[in-house]
Amino acid sequence: MRTSHDALPRWRWTRLVAGAALTLGWLAGPGAAHAAGTFVSWRDCRVDGAQWALNEGHGCQSTITDVAFYPGFELASPIDSVLAMELVIDVDVAALALPAWWRMDPGQCNADGWAADAAPSITCPQAWAGQGVAAVQGWLPSTPGGSPRHGRLLVAAASVPGTLASLEANTPYTACRVILRGQNVLACEGCTTPACLVFNSVIIRRLLAGGGEQEIVVSGPILAAGDRITWQGGTGADCQAVPVRAATWGAVKALFR
């Protein structure tokens, strides 16, 4: 369901999301009532009847093979006037350090190896009801915890200018689509290195009727291990090495300052 909001400035979405990140906080009370949990899967939304997958990994021989996963969430109570979301996805590889193909930060072998958009999954409703945008905001090697085998992906999604989203309770929504690009598989060593990806947390930002904004934090899987997927089987990667922590959002704040 979409709602219009004539008072919302005609910002570009990138400016909207960047500004939203400057005032991140951890709210008790009203925000807590909305939290339920997260889920993630390759190919489709992770619900019964969908063609989703826990593991993905092509042969690393084609530079035109992209694969996508869908971070999603459910809420315990409805939310209206949603304008933006900020997602954290953590990666641990089965190696002493991120290999060249997993170095997707600027200037490295596989720079721009991540992409994101607001394309819907096959099965679940998209949070933005077709009126959203999304983009990768950063890839942070050695995060969290300073481990060289870790990387953190930051993704921002938002409603298009002039609209806000309404989210129902107990409905599995996808926040966006995240694409792991097949580029540079021949030039950068490490595409075949197993990895575990954990959908760490999402902040949902909404406008309040009386003015101001509210941040609603959703983290932790709805079902056991439902917040993680693997690449190339994941053998040797440690999903437990990137647990959800409230402090992880400091990296998001630092990125947007």
Could you tell me if residue 255 is inside a domain?
Answer: no
pLDDT by residue (tens digit) across 40-61? 999 999 999 899 999 998 779 8
Could you tell me if residue 252 is inside a domain?
Answer: no
The token pair at 40 is: 């993630």
pLDDT at 23: 30
Tally of structural domains, the chain: 1
| Cα four-point dihedral sign 221, 222, 224, 228 | negative
pLDDT at 62: 82
Could you tell me if residue 248 is inside a domain?
Answer: no
Could you tell me if residue 74 is inside a domain?
Answer: yes
Domain of 38 in residue numbering reads as 2-242
pLDDT at 72: 97
The Cα 8–Cα 41 span in angstroms is 33
CA angle 69, 147, 254 (to 5 degrees): 75
The token pair at 135 is: 């983009």
pLDDT at 257: 32
Could you tell me if residue 52 is inside a domain?
Answer: yes
Could you tell me if residue 182 is inside a domain?
Answer: yes
pLDDT at 244: 52
Could you tell me if residue 31 is inside a domain?
Answer: yes
For the chain, residues with pLDDT lower than 50 are 1-32, 245-257
pLDDT at 252: 40
Could you tell me if residue 177 is inside a domain?
Answer: yes
pLDDT at 64: 78
Whether residue 218 contacts residue 43, with contact meaning beta carbons closer than 8 Å, is answered with no
pLDDT at 98: 98
